[in-house]
Structure 1
Amino acid sequence: MAMKAARVLHLCFLWLLVSAIFIKSADCRSWKKKLPKPCRNLVLYFHDIIYNGKNAENATSALVSAPQGANLTIMTGNNHFGNLAVFDDPITLDNNLHSPPVGRAQGFYFYDMKNTFSAWLGFTFVLNSTDHKGSITFNGADPILTKYRDISVVGGTGDFLMARGIATISTDSYEGDVYFRLRVNITLYECY
Protein backbone atom coordinates (compact mmCIF):
# COMPACT_ATOMS: atom_id res chain seq x y z
CA MET A 1 0.00 0.00 0.00
CA ALA A 2 2.82 2.40 0.85
CA MET A 3 4.45 1.56 -2.47
CA LYS A 4 1.29 2.57 -4.40
CA ALA A 5 1.03 5.85 -2.51
CA ALA A 6 4.69 6.64 -3.21
CA ARG A 7 4.20 5.85 -6.92
CA VAL A 8 1.08 8.09 -7.11
CA LEU A 9 2.95 10.88 -5.34
CA HIS A 10 5.89 10.44 -7.74
CA LEU A 11 3.57 10.60 -10.79
CA CYS A 12 1.85 13.75 -9.44
CA PHE A 13 5.21 15.40 -8.88
CA LEU A 14 6.34 14.43 -12.40
CA TRP A 15 3.09 15.79 -13.87
CA LEU A 16 3.57 19.11 -12.03
CA LEU A 17 7.17 19.36 -13.24
CA VAL A 18 6.26 18.70 -16.90
CA SER A 19 3.33 21.14 -16.69
CA ALA A 20 5.58 23.85 -15.27
CA ILE A 21 8.08 23.34 -18.10
CA PHE A 22 5.36 23.61 -20.76
CA ILE A 23 3.87 26.74 -19.18
CA LYS A 24 7.31 28.33 -18.83
CA SER A 25 8.19 27.67 -22.49
CA ALA A 26 4.90 29.05 -23.86
CA ASP A 27 5.19 32.27 -25.87
CA CYS A 28 4.19 35.06 -23.48
CA ARG A 29 3.06 37.30 -26.34
CA SER A 30 0.25 34.88 -27.13
CA TRP A 31 -1.19 35.59 -23.67
CA LYS A 32 -1.47 39.36 -24.21
CA LYS A 33 -4.97 40.72 -24.44
CA LYS A 34 -5.71 42.35 -27.77
CA LEU A 35 -7.40 45.74 -27.70
CA PRO A 36 -10.76 45.94 -29.39
CA LYS A 37 -11.16 48.25 -32.33
CA PRO A 38 -11.76 51.86 -31.29
CA CYS A 39 -15.42 52.85 -31.21
CA ARG A 40 -14.80 56.61 -31.55
CA ASN A 41 -11.95 59.00 -32.33
CA LEU A 42 -11.86 62.78 -31.85
CA VAL A 43 -9.12 65.37 -32.25
CA LEU A 44 -9.58 68.56 -30.22
CA TYR A 45 -7.37 71.45 -29.12
CA PHE A 46 -7.36 73.30 -25.86
CA HIS A 47 -5.77 76.68 -25.27
CA ASP A 48 -4.34 77.65 -21.87
CA ILE A 49 -3.54 81.30 -21.08
CA ILE A 50 -1.94 81.57 -17.64
CA TYR A 51 -2.69 84.65 -15.54
CA ASN A 52 0.55 86.64 -15.17
CA GLY A 53 -0.71 89.74 -13.35
CA LYS A 54 -1.27 91.72 -16.55
CA ASN A 55 -3.68 89.60 -18.62
CA ALA A 56 -6.71 89.14 -16.37
CA GLU A 57 -9.13 89.79 -19.23
CA ASN A 58 -7.73 86.97 -21.44
CA ALA A 59 -6.43 84.50 -18.84
CA THR A 60 -8.07 81.07 -18.72
CA SER A 61 -5.94 79.58 -15.94
CA ALA A 62 -4.35 80.73 -12.71
CA LEU A 63 -1.78 79.51 -10.23
CA VAL A 64 -3.48 78.65 -6.96
CA SER A 65 -0.39 77.36 -5.17
CA ALA A 66 3.25 78.16 -5.72
CA PRO A 67 6.56 77.75 -3.92
CA GLN A 68 7.23 81.44 -4.61
CA GLY A 69 4.85 82.24 -1.75
CA ALA A 70 2.10 84.79 -2.08
CA ASN A 71 3.03 85.87 -5.62
CA LEU A 72 0.81 83.66 -7.79
CA THR A 73 1.72 85.41 -11.04
CA ILE A 74 5.27 84.03 -11.40
CA MET A 75 6.03 80.42 -12.30
CA THR A 76 8.85 79.07 -10.17
CA GLY A 77 12.22 78.16 -11.64
CA ASN A 78 13.39 74.59 -11.19
CA ASN A 79 11.00 73.21 -13.85
CA HIS A 80 7.99 74.89 -12.18
CA PHE A 81 8.12 72.22 -9.47
CA GLY A 82 5.31 72.74 -6.98
CA ASN A 83 3.16 75.08 -9.10
CA LEU A 84 -0.54 74.14 -9.14
CA ALA A 85 -2.89 75.71 -11.68
CA VAL A 86 -6.63 75.46 -12.26
CA PHE A 87 -8.07 76.15 -15.68
CA ASP A 88 -11.23 76.78 -17.67
CA ASP A 89 -9.88 76.70 -21.24
CA PRO A 90 -11.67 76.90 -24.58
CA ILE A 91 -11.71 73.74 -26.73
CA THR A 92 -11.65 74.13 -30.52
CA LEU A 93 -11.76 71.77 -33.49
CA ASP A 94 -8.61 73.34 -34.98
CA ASN A 95 -5.50 74.99 -33.60
CA ASN A 96 -6.81 78.56 -33.90
CA LEU A 97 -7.50 80.18 -30.52
CA HIS A 98 -10.11 82.42 -32.18
CA SER A 99 -12.12 79.55 -33.70
CA PRO A 100 -15.59 79.05 -32.22
CA PRO A 101 -15.26 76.92 -29.07
CA VAL A 102 -17.04 73.55 -28.96
CA GLY A 103 -16.67 73.30 -25.20
CA ARG A 104 -14.44 73.94 -22.20
CA ALA A 105 -11.52 72.06 -20.67
CA GLN A 106 -11.86 72.36 -16.89
CA GLY A 107 -9.52 70.99 -14.27
CA PHE A 108 -6.04 71.35 -12.84
CA TYR A 109 -2.42 70.49 -13.41
CA PHE A 110 0.57 70.56 -11.14
CA TYR A 111 4.26 70.32 -11.88
CA ASP A 112 5.56 67.30 -10.01
CA MET A 113 9.27 66.83 -10.84
CA LYS A 114 12.30 68.87 -9.88
CA ASN A 115 14.70 67.53 -12.49
CA THR A 116 12.57 67.86 -15.66
CA PHE A 117 9.34 69.41 -16.92
CA SER A 118 6.58 67.04 -15.92
CA ALA A 119 3.02 67.57 -14.78
CA TRP A 120 0.05 65.59 -13.55
CA LEU A 121 -3.29 66.38 -15.19
CA GLY A 122 -6.85 65.93 -14.00
CA PHE A 123 -9.49 67.53 -16.21
CA THR A 124 -12.79 67.19 -18.04
CA PHE A 125 -13.78 68.26 -21.54
CA VAL A 126 -17.31 69.68 -21.26
CA LEU A 127 -18.66 69.63 -24.82
CA ASN A 128 -21.83 71.43 -25.89
CA SER A 129 -21.65 71.77 -29.66
CA THR A 130 -24.16 70.57 -32.23
CA ASP A 131 -21.99 67.47 -32.85
CA HIS A 132 -21.31 66.41 -29.26
CA LYS A 133 -22.98 66.94 -25.91
CA GLY A 134 -21.56 65.60 -22.67
CA SER A 135 -18.24 65.31 -20.94
CA ILE A 136 -15.04 63.26 -21.16
CA THR A 137 -12.82 62.93 -18.08
CA PHE A 138 -9.04 62.44 -18.22
CA ASN A 139 -6.19 61.98 -15.77
CA GLY A 140 -2.57 60.96 -15.76
CA ALA A 141 1.07 61.90 -15.87
CA ASP A 142 2.28 64.32 -18.54
CA PRO A 143 6.04 64.15 -19.24
CA ILE A 144 5.93 67.47 -21.08
CA LEU A 145 9.21 67.13 -23.00
CA THR A 146 8.05 63.92 -24.68
CA LYS A 147 6.48 64.68 -28.07
CA TYR A 148 3.45 62.36 -27.66
CA ARG A 149 2.07 61.46 -24.23
CA ASP A 150 -0.80 59.13 -23.37
CA ILE A 151 -3.21 59.82 -20.54
CA SER A 152 -6.24 57.81 -19.51
CA VAL A 153 -9.84 58.51 -20.45
CA VAL A 154 -11.57 57.45 -17.24
CA GLY A 155 -15.22 58.25 -17.89
CA GLY A 156 -17.79 60.49 -19.43
CA THR A 157 -21.41 61.60 -19.59
CA GLY A 158 -23.98 62.31 -22.30
CA ASP A 159 -22.71 61.20 -25.73
CA PHE A 160 -19.63 59.79 -23.95
CA LEU A 161 -21.40 57.89 -21.15
CA MET A 162 -18.89 55.70 -19.26
CA ALA A 163 -16.28 56.14 -22.00
CA ARG A 164 -12.89 54.47 -21.61
CA GLY A 165 -9.79 54.90 -23.72
CA ILE A 166 -6.57 56.81 -24.30
CA ALA A 167 -5.92 60.44 -25.12
CA THR A 168 -2.63 61.13 -26.88
CA ILE A 169 -1.63 64.70 -26.16
CA SER A 170 1.09 66.80 -27.74
CA THR A 171 2.14 70.38 -27.20
CA ASP A 172 1.06 72.07 -30.41
CA SER A 173 2.33 75.55 -29.49
CA TYR A 174 3.61 77.54 -26.53
CA GLU A 175 4.70 81.09 -25.77
CA GLY A 176 6.93 81.10 -22.71
CA ASP A 177 5.08 80.66 -19.45
CA VAL A 178 1.94 82.48 -20.62
CA TYR A 179 0.30 80.37 -23.35
CA PHE A 180 0.27 76.77 -24.53
CA ARG A 181 -1.99 74.79 -26.83
CA LEU A 182 -2.43 71.03 -26.59
CA ARG A 183 -3.59 68.76 -29.39
CA VAL A 184 -5.65 65.94 -27.88
CA ASN A 185 -6.28 62.84 -29.99
CA ILE A 186 -8.96 60.88 -28.12
CA THR A 187 -9.37 57.19 -28.92
CA LEU A 188 -12.26 55.52 -27.11
CA TYR A 189 -12.43 51.74 -26.74
CA GLU A 190 -15.63 51.57 -24.69
CA CYS A 191 -18.63 53.52 -25.93
CA TYR A 192 -22.21 53.09 -24.78
Structure 2
Amino acid sequence: MASYSIRLSLLVYLAMFITSEAELGQPKETKLTLHFQDYSGGGGPNATAVQITGQPNGLLSFTKFGAIFCTDDPITQGFDLSSTEIERAQGLYVTSALHGSNTHVLISIVFTNEEYKGSTLEIQGSSAQFERVREVATVGDTGKFHLARGLTFETIHHDAAIYHAVIQCNVTILHY
Protein backbone atom coordinates (compact mmCIF):
# COMPACT_ATOMS: atom_id res chain seq x y z
CA MET A 1 0.00 0.00 0.00
CA ALA A 2 2.82 2.43 0.86
CA SER A 3 4.51 1.68 -2.43
CA TYR A 4 1.30 2.53 -4.30
CA SER A 5 1.00 5.86 -2.41
CA ILE A 6 4.56 6.79 -3.22
CA ARG A 7 4.07 6.03 -6.93
CA LEU A 8 0.83 8.00 -7.00
CA SER A 9 2.51 10.97 -5.28
CA LEU A 10 5.36 10.88 -7.79
CA LEU A 11 2.93 10.78 -10.72
CA VAL A 12 0.96 13.75 -9.35
CA TYR A 13 4.18 15.72 -8.81
CA LEU A 14 5.45 14.89 -12.31
CA ALA A 15 2.11 15.93 -13.86
CA MET A 16 2.25 19.28 -11.97
CA PHE A 17 5.84 19.89 -13.13
CA ILE A 18 5.07 19.10 -16.78
CA THR A 19 1.94 21.30 -16.67
CA SER A 20 3.90 24.20 -15.14
CA GLU A 21 6.62 23.98 -17.78
CA ALA A 22 4.08 23.74 -20.61
CA GLU A 23 2.20 26.83 -19.35
CA LEU A 24 5.42 28.84 -19.28
CA GLY A 25 6.36 27.99 -22.87
CA GLN A 26 9.90 28.11 -24.21
CA PRO A 27 12.43 30.13 -22.21
CA LYS A 28 13.73 33.39 -23.67
CA GLU A 29 17.44 34.03 -23.85
CA THR A 30 18.70 37.44 -22.77
CA LYS A 31 22.35 38.41 -23.08
CA LEU A 32 23.39 41.41 -21.00
CA THR A 33 26.59 43.40 -20.85
CA LEU A 34 26.75 45.35 -17.60
CA HIS A 35 29.34 47.81 -16.30
CA PHE A 36 30.17 47.90 -12.60
CA GLN A 37 31.36 51.41 -11.67
CA ASP A 38 33.62 50.63 -8.71
CA TYR A 39 35.01 53.49 -6.61
CA SER A 40 37.14 52.36 -3.70
CA GLY A 41 37.96 56.04 -3.16
CA GLY A 42 40.61 55.32 -0.56
CA GLY A 43 37.75 55.08 1.95
CA GLY A 44 36.43 58.54 1.00
CA PRO A 45 32.80 59.71 1.17
CA ASN A 46 31.96 58.69 -2.44
CA ALA A 47 33.35 55.16 -2.18
CA THR A 48 31.12 52.36 -3.44
CA ALA A 49 33.44 49.66 -2.08
CA VAL A 50 34.91 49.87 1.42
CA GLN A 51 37.15 47.60 3.43
CA ILE A 52 35.46 46.52 6.66
CA THR A 53 38.26 44.48 8.25
CA GLY A 54 42.02 44.90 8.45
CA GLN A 55 42.04 48.48 7.14
CA PRO A 56 45.35 50.05 8.23
CA ASN A 57 45.50 53.88 8.02
CA GLY A 58 42.58 54.12 5.57
CA LEU A 59 44.51 52.37 2.78
CA LEU A 60 42.72 49.51 1.07
CA SER A 61 44.46 46.17 1.12
CA PHE A 62 43.00 44.04 -1.68
CA THR A 63 45.75 41.41 -1.39
CA LYS A 64 45.75 40.96 2.41
CA PHE A 65 44.43 37.53 3.36
CA GLY A 66 41.18 37.88 5.30
CA ALA A 67 40.38 41.41 4.17
CA ILE A 68 36.62 41.87 3.75
CA PHE A 69 35.05 44.51 1.51
CA CYS A 70 31.44 45.63 1.28
CA THR A 71 30.20 46.98 -2.06
CA ASP A 72 27.23 48.85 -3.45
CA ASP A 73 28.40 49.64 -6.99
CA PRO A 74 26.13 51.30 -9.53
CA ILE A 75 25.87 49.22 -12.69
CA THR A 76 25.40 51.13 -15.91
CA GLN A 77 24.43 50.23 -19.47
CA GLY A 78 27.60 51.69 -20.91
CA PHE A 79 31.24 52.14 -19.99
CA ASP A 80 30.90 55.81 -18.97
CA LEU A 81 29.82 56.69 -15.45
CA SER A 82 27.26 59.09 -16.96
CA SER A 83 25.56 56.12 -18.67
CA THR A 84 22.12 55.12 -17.37
CA GLU A 85 22.16 53.15 -14.12
CA ILE A 86 20.16 49.94 -14.49
CA GLU A 87 21.05 48.06 -11.32
CA ARG A 88 23.25 47.86 -8.24
CA ALA A 89 25.87 45.28 -7.25
CA GLN A 90 25.53 44.78 -3.50
CA GLY A 91 27.51 42.32 -1.45
CA LEU A 92 30.88 41.25 -0.09
CA TYR A 93 34.35 40.37 -1.33
CA VAL A 94 36.72 38.41 0.90
CA THR A 95 40.42 38.02 0.06
CA SER A 96 40.47 34.27 0.48
CA ALA A 97 43.88 33.14 -0.79
CA LEU A 98 46.90 33.29 1.50
CA HIS A 99 48.90 34.92 -1.31
CA GLY A 100 46.11 37.44 -2.02
CA SER A 101 45.35 36.50 -5.61
CA ASN A 102 41.76 35.28 -5.10
CA THR A 103 38.68 36.82 -3.61
CA HIS A 104 35.50 35.05 -2.68
CA VAL A 105 32.62 37.00 -4.20
CA LEU A 106 29.09 37.16 -2.73
CA ILE A 107 27.09 39.67 -4.77
CA SER A 108 23.44 40.36 -5.49
CA ILE A 109 22.87 42.18 -8.78
CA VAL A 110 19.67 44.08 -8.03
CA PHE A 111 17.88 45.44 -11.12
CA THR A 112 16.42 48.94 -10.73
CA ASN A 113 15.42 49.74 -14.33
CA GLU A 114 11.75 49.44 -15.30
CA GLU A 115 12.11 46.39 -17.55
CA TYR A 116 13.63 44.10 -14.91
CA LYS A 117 12.91 46.02 -11.66
CA GLY A 118 12.85 43.72 -8.64
CA SER A 119 14.74 40.92 -10.38
CA THR A 120 18.10 39.79 -9.00
CA LEU A 121 21.03 37.59 -9.92
CA GLU A 122 22.95 35.99 -7.06
CA ILE A 123 26.68 35.56 -7.70
CA GLN A 124 29.03 33.48 -5.57
CA GLY A 125 32.45 31.95 -6.00
CA SER A 126 36.16 32.37 -6.23
CA SER A 127 37.44 35.17 -8.46
CA ALA A 128 41.08 35.42 -9.52
CA GLN A 129 41.11 39.15 -8.90
CA PHE A 130 44.18 40.00 -10.96
CA GLU A 131 43.14 38.05 -14.05
CA ARG A 132 41.59 40.20 -16.75
CA VAL A 133 38.63 37.83 -17.32
CA ARG A 134 37.10 35.79 -14.49
CA GLU A 135 34.17 33.40 -14.42
CA VAL A 136 32.02 33.28 -11.28
CA ALA A 137 28.98 31.09 -10.62
CA THR A 138 25.43 32.38 -10.77
CA VAL A 139 23.82 30.49 -7.89
CA GLY A 140 20.32 31.94 -7.86
CA ASP A 141 17.89 34.43 -9.29
CA THR A 142 14.57 36.11 -8.62
CA GLY A 143 11.89 37.95 -10.56
CA LYS A 144 12.05 37.64 -14.34
CA PHE A 145 15.30 35.69 -14.42
CA HIS A 146 15.55 31.94 -14.13
CA LEU A 147 18.33 29.59 -15.09
CA ALA A 148 21.01 32.28 -15.38
CA ARG A 149 24.34 30.95 -16.64
CA GLY A 150 27.60 31.95 -18.24
CA LEU A 151 28.61 34.96 -16.14
CA THR A 152 32.05 36.50 -16.59
CA PHE A 153 33.73 39.57 -15.12
CA GLU A 154 36.33 41.52 -17.06
CA THR A 155 38.26 44.52 -15.77
CA ILE A 156 38.23 46.91 -18.73
CA HIS A 157 39.44 50.09 -17.02
CA HIS A 158 41.44 50.84 -13.88
CA ASP A 159 42.57 54.29 -12.74
CA ALA A 160 44.53 53.92 -9.50
CA ALA A 161 44.90 57.70 -9.10
CA ILE A 162 41.16 58.18 -8.55
CA TYR A 163 40.44 54.67 -7.19
CA HIS A 164 38.06 53.88 -10.05
CA ALA A 165 37.62 50.63 -11.96
CA VAL A 166 35.06 49.57 -14.55
CA ILE A 167 34.30 45.88 -14.48
CA GLN A 168 32.32 44.55 -17.43
CA CYS A 169 29.96 41.68 -16.65
CA ASN A 170 28.65 39.47 -19.45
CA VAL A 171 25.76 37.19 -18.57
CA THR A 172 23.37 34.93 -20.47
CA ILE A 173 19.98 34.42 -18.84
CA LEU A 174 17.23 31.99 -19.76
CA HIS A 175 13.90 33.23 -18.40
CA TYR A 176 10.19 33.03 -19.01
Please state which band the TM-score falls in when normalised by the shorter chain. Answer: 0.7 to 0.9
Q: Name the CA distance, whole Å, in 2 between partners of 1:148 and 1:89.
A: 19
Q: 1:80 to 1:180 in 2, by over 3 A?
A: farther
Q: How many residues align?
A: 148
1:45 corresponds in structure 2 to 35
Q: TM-score, normalising length from structure 2? A: 0.74
Secondary structure of 1:52's aligned partner = helix
Within the candidate set 47, 65, 77, 1:93 is matched to: 77
Q: Name the CA distance, whole Å, in 2 between partners of 1:100 and 1:191.
A: 23
The residue type equivalent to 1:149 in the other structure is R
Q: Name the CA distance, whole Å, in 2 between partners of 1:106 and 1:191.
A: 22
Larger radius of gyration: 1
1:111 corresponds in structure 2 to 95
Q: Residue 148 in 1 paired to residue 133 in 2?
A: yes
The residue type equivalent to 1:104 in the other structure is R
Q: Residue 66 in 1 paired to residue 54 in 2?
A: yes
Q: Name the CA distance, whole Å, in 1 between partners of 2:153 and 2:51.
A: 22
The residue type equivalent to 1:60 in the other structure is T
Query: How big is the shift at 1:170?
Result: 0.6
Q: Name the CA distance, whole Å, in 2 between partners of 1:180 and 1:186.
A: 19
Secondary structure of 2:136's aligned partner = strand
Contact 2:64 2:100 in 1 (8 A): no
RMSD: 2.3
Q: Percent same amino acid at aligned positions?
A: 25
Q: Please list, as runs of the form range in 1=range in 2, the aligned pairs for 1:175-186 lying within 5 A after superposition.
A: 175-176=159-160, 178-186=163-171
The residue type equivalent to 2:53 in the other structure is S
Query: How big is the shift at 1:141?
Result: 0.9
Q: Unaligned 5+ residue runs, structure 1?
A: 1-36
Q: 1:165 to 1:62 in 2, by over 3 A?
A: same
1:5 corresponds in structure 2 to none
Q: TM-score, normalising length from structure 1? A: 0.68
The residue type equivalent to 1:65 in the other structure is T
Q: Name the CA distance, whole Å, in 1 between partners of 2:92 and 2:113.
A: 23
